[in-house]
Amino acid sequence: MKLLIKNGRLIDPAGAVDQIMDILIENGRFREIAKSIKKISGCPTIEAKDMVVSPGFIDMHTHLREPGQENKESIESGARAAVHGGFTSIACMANTEPVNDNRSVTEYIIARARQVGLVNIFPVAAVSRGLLGENLVEMADLVEGGAVAFSDDGHCVMKADLIRKALEYAKMLDVPIIEHPEDHSISAEGQVNEGFISYKYGLRGMLKAAEEVIVARDLILQERIQSRLHLTHISTAGSVELIRNARKLKTPVSSDATPHHLLLNEELVQSYNPVYKVKPPLRTEADRLELIRGLQDGTIDCIASDHAPHTRDDKDKEFEFAPFGVIGMETSFAVVFDRLVRRKLLTINRLVELFSTNPARVLGLKNRGRVKTGFPADLTIFDPKKRFKIEEKEFRSKANNCPFLGWEGQGAVAHTIVSGNIVYSFKTR
């Protein structure tokens, strides 16, 4: 099995490559990367002229809902959504039913992912049993079973002592702890960012401080522990500043931001439309702009979608009663490319780092996020000129809770290639 990609602009920051290259794939791996590779008769060929060829995109924060809530999403529908959005690898969070806090659930997810094929799925296991914040999971056993990271995600590890021990123990295993920074005693019943908008519209607020006190706490602990700490979907200017300062002190920390926090602000909740109800909440315009600066100056390493599918009925409710979350895998690249790269806020090369190089490094995915001979052939090929319109009917996800519906722009995924297989092409549909 061979596949040849010709005349694309290969951008591979990990290999310091940005030039027109031909790529030959054989048996699921990169066979040859060279300025010109002769066409081979009988070998399928992708003509990638005027397109960008990137190491496969990796979404390090998704919710696939299986096992347990297959009415919202399943490993299969999630995988289809992922490749539609250009992702070749995704990491899925532990808040399934049952919770992914033991090896059998991790192995189940991996087995299902293999049956489905399409995309590489890397389970993130819980930090604490049952996500209850009390006792550590069997981390070593879970790593052997295939878990690549640990996170209590939305629950946040509220006990400082427990996150300390988790970071210490994970250091031995060389796996990251992913923290969703939110002090629940402050955010409590909050629905939206706390401030003028929440006060005016009578919605309970979540102070930015609820996020920042956990960011600060974890960074202080990490200063001594020097484990692998990843802060996910940071949303405030204060968090960016705390991470920036920690970096100066050489404290090991990585972080990601979501497309919705990068492109939307709290003003949208004035409509009381629950599609804008997310955690952390959409913040102010000043926060949004600081997140973009964080991407530019390297403080924030990755863009992750926090793809959180819900059924239509779940979200068709009073704002207060609707669940938090938006879907994102299918729109992340398009909206970020159009609104940040095309408007010159990010370079294409930085985008590739944020979507591929860095998530591979943060999750410790060996041989991914890089186009190198012998590595698994995961590629995302996109056309910077192709126009898109985000429409519900195009979604492969079971859900439609997308805040970008109706958005139009330029820049679309042309082909998603996982282990040498073309799993998505815009032309084939």
Partner 1 sequence: MKERTFRQDHLLGIEQLSVGDIETILETAEAFIEVSSREVKKVPALKGKTVVNLFFENSTRTRSSFEIAAKRLSADLINFNSSISSLKKGETLKDTVLTLEAMNPHIIVIRHSASGSPHYLTTFARSSIVNAGDGFHEHPTQALLDALTIQQRLKTLRGLKIAIVGDILHSRVARSNILLHHKLGNEIALIGPPSLVPLEFEKMGARVHYDIRRGVKDADVVMMLRVQEERGAKNYFPSIREYRNRFAINREIFALAKKSAILMHPGPINRDVEIETSMADGEHSVILQQVTNGIAVRMAVLYLLKGEIHEALN
Is the CB of residue 25 less than 8 Å from the CB of residue 4?
yes
The single-letter code of the amino acid at 103 is R
Tokens in use for 224? Answer: 């001594």
Size of interface with partner 1, in residues (CB under 8 A): 17
Nearest CA-CA partner of 69 in 37, 32, 97 = 97
Question: Is residue 393 a contact residue for partner 1 (CB under 8 A)?
Answer: no
Q: Binders of partner 1 among 315-334, rule CB under 8 A?
A: 316-321
195 binds partner 1 (CB under 8 A): yes
CB of 391 to partner 1, least distance (A): 16
H-assigned helices in 190-231:
196-201, 208-225
Closer by beta carbon to partner 1, 196 or else 392: 196
Instruction: Provide, rounded to whole angstroms, the least separation between the CB of residue 200 and partner 1.
Output: 6
Q: Please, what is the minimum distance in Å from the beta carbon of residue 277 to partner 1?
A: 11
Q: Which of residues 265-284 bind partner 1 (CB under 8 A)?
A: 271-272
The residue behind tokens 């030959």 is: 24
The owner of tokens 């990990």 is 14
- Asked whether the CA dihedral 178, 184, 187, 192 is positive or negative, the reply is positive
Would you state the structure tokens that stand for residue 205, as one six-digit string? Answer: 């607020």
Residue nearer to partner 1 on the CB measure, 207 or 264: 207
Nearer to partner 1, 161 or 313 (CB): 313
Near partner 1 by CB under 8 A: residue from 199, 245, 366, 387:
199
**Residue number with CB closer to partner 1 (87 or 276):** 276
In sign, the C-alpha dihedral spanning 182, 186, 187, 192 is negative
| Residue 285 within binding range of partner 1, rule CB under 8 A | no
Q: How far is the CB of 242 from partner 1 (least distance, A)?
A: 23
Stretch that binds partner 1, among 125-133, 166-174, 210-218, 313-321 (CB under 8 A): 313-321
C-beta of residue 284 within 8 angstroms of C-beta of residue 265: yes
Residue 47: count of CB within 10 angstroms of its CB: 11
Question: Residue 196: CB partners within 8 Å, gap ≥ 6?
Answer: none
Catalytic residue among 22, 152, 306, 383: 306
Inter-axis angle of helices 75-84 and 103-116, nearest 10: 60
| Encoded tokens for 41 | 């008769």
Single out the residue of 19, 42, 115, 202 in contact with partner 1 (rule: CB under 8 A).
202
Nearest-approach distance from CB 316 to partner 1, in angstroms = 6
Rounded distance between C-alpha atoms, residue 91 and residue 356, angstroms: 13
Listed ranges 36-44, 52-60, 201-209, 377-385: which one lies at the site for partner 1 (CB under 8 A): 201-209
Q: Name the residue nearer to partner 1 (CB basis): 210 or 225.
A: 210
256 is catalytic: no
Positions marked active-site: 306
Binding site for partner 1 (CB under 8 A): 195-196, 199-204, 271-272, 313, 316-321
